[in-house]
A and B are shown apart, each in its own frame.
Chain A
């Protein structure tokens, strides 16, 4: 079945550092790809998405490009802030009888220190 593998955390960076969180996927079809973020004590929020190969999703300074040839969707940000501290989930979706079934990676906890 479909699966998502993302780099293990936790990741600790200094403010203004460059961030990369790796994500690769396995899918039989042509999934859509997502990054969700979970801030402490809150539910998941969609951070960005890409629905086809070579699409780039971006939001709040974060970017990720759908690479079909390497089955990857790595998350990047050029200069992180303390407020970016959260758990980040890579996910893919497939159409299950007209509904969205999200398959998540294990999550990467990111801590930014001032």
Chain B
């Protein structure tokens, strides 16, 4: 059984289009994340949600809008796609930190977005 799944795996689209990437986790985690990995493999957090509430928003353009219909899903909608949005987007999930203890983040397989 896949723990963190993303769809689609590949997404090729034209500049200016609007697209969505879906993420689902079956681990019972309360917290979900979106990361962006650019062409140089640099990986940076974009958003974090805890129980459907936005916790982290790392100065991402407002063309990017995460939506969490329930705590098992965190979708990423991107408006007016630009060339620079081409990247691999990773979803992840974890339990929230409690008592100072770290809880591992589990990553999905990634969605490779190519904007032409």
Contacts and interface: CB of A to CB of B under 8 A. Distances in A.
Q: Do A and B bind each other?
A: yes
B55 A87 contact: no
| Interface residue tally on B, bucketed by range | 20 to 34
Contacts of A100: 31, 94, 96-97, 102-103, 105
B55 A96 contact: yes
A114 interface: no
Interface string A48-83: 010100000000000000000000000000000000
- State the main secondary structure of chain B at its contact with A: strand
B52 to A, nearest CB: 13
Contact of B56 (A43, A45, A51, A99): A99
- State the main secondary structure of chain A at its contact with B: strand
Interface residues of A, number: 25
A110 interface: no
A107 B40 CA distance: 9
Given A98-B97, A104-B42, A107-B41, A43 B102 contact: no
Interface string A91-102: 001011111111
Interface of A: 32, 41-46, 49, 51, 87, 89, 93, 95-104, 106-107, 109
The 10 closest A-B pairs by CB, nearest first: A43-B107, A107-B41, A104-B43, A44-B107, A32-B102, A43-B109, A98-B96, A99-B55, A99-B31, A106-B42
